[in-house]
Amino acid sequence: MIIIRPITKDDYDALFQIAKESGHGFTSLPEDKDYLINRIKHSQQSFAADIKSPGNQGYLFVMEDTNSKEIVGTSGIEASTGSDFPLFHHRIGTHIHHNDKLKVHKELETLTLCNDLTGSSEICSLFLKSDYRIKGNGRALSRFRFLFMSEHPERFSNRIMAEMRGYADENGESPFWSWFEENFCDIDFATSNYLFGTGDMTFVSELMPKFPLYTKLMTQSARDGINKVHPGTRPALALLEKEGFKYGDYIGVNDAGPALISPLDRIKTVMASVKKPVKIAAVTNEQTRYIACNNKLTDFRAAQIYLDIQDEHLVISEESATALKVAAGDFLRVVKNN
């Protein structure tokens, strides 16, 4: 069975392997032993903490094939971005140059460094091994986070953000960053990704332009990268757009990938989900898969299962109950995985 659970220290080797497989454009999981060990420790502390309002907590989950005991994917949530270090984006804006006498009117696109999205909850660290990108696993690994946040709203902001991985060429280089590297900071793309991934933002405030930048001054290839996602990110982008996430006129500082935004209570998975007590019995439905999650923290579990909705109960199998760590009468939150 495929389950989703909080990460533990025993998952370090698998997490490091995923960091290697994901590539240097995947900023939230850099290949850094100390960073990843601390990320696991911080996640465990976050799950265990008694939280009344969101702060610097970070929740990291793994997807596990319980048959092979293999960790096949990761998924994360940052409770309140910018709590530990400044959160930077470029805000896309417009400057008007107008003169009636000369009959000149120009609308010029600008990029301005900002901290506007500070305090948002961020979904992040989504990665699934290629062999498991089947049978709705990818959708489940992304969407279960909305169920988790819906169960524990005091731990999160109502503004949910997703930073999409920006475009990179066949050599793994970002044309957008290459222009900044040449004109503002002599740091290559891989190094910038590592610094972003480990939270070292000092170079952004010290080296990046602090005034609005006219995109017309950039190379065409750099401009073309604005709001353009990495090819491997397109499925995730499509899923979030289906959930109701919108472009918010913000892009990543180093790769120009779009930052998508939605209120938590307007996300389609949240609105379509139902929460009911469990009844353990034989299940007749074998057509529709549901994403189901319990309402626990350190013992949180989510999985794709078949179930029947019967009166005021969710009828699930004994196997599903064991995987989800629930007994008869416990509550599950579920949504169709389609």
Count Cβ atoms below 10 Å from residue 113 Cβ, excluding itself.
17
CA-based torsion, 42, 47, 50, 54: positive or negative:
positive
Q: What gap in Å lies between CA 74 and CA 5, rounded to an integer?
A: 10
Active site residue 42: no
* Pick from 149, 141, 144, 151: nearest CA to 120: 149
Residues 293, 147 contacting (CB under 8 angstroms): yes
3-state secondary structure of 308: strand
Q: What torsion do the CA atoms of 230, 231, 237, 242 make, to the nearest 10 degrees?
A: 160
Residue 257: DSSP 8-state: -
Which of 24, 90, 152, 230 is an active site residue?
Answer: 230
Output DSSP code: residue 167. Answer: P
* Amino acid identity at 290: Y
Residues 6 or more apart in contact with residue 171 via CB below 8 angstroms = none
Residues designated as active site: 230
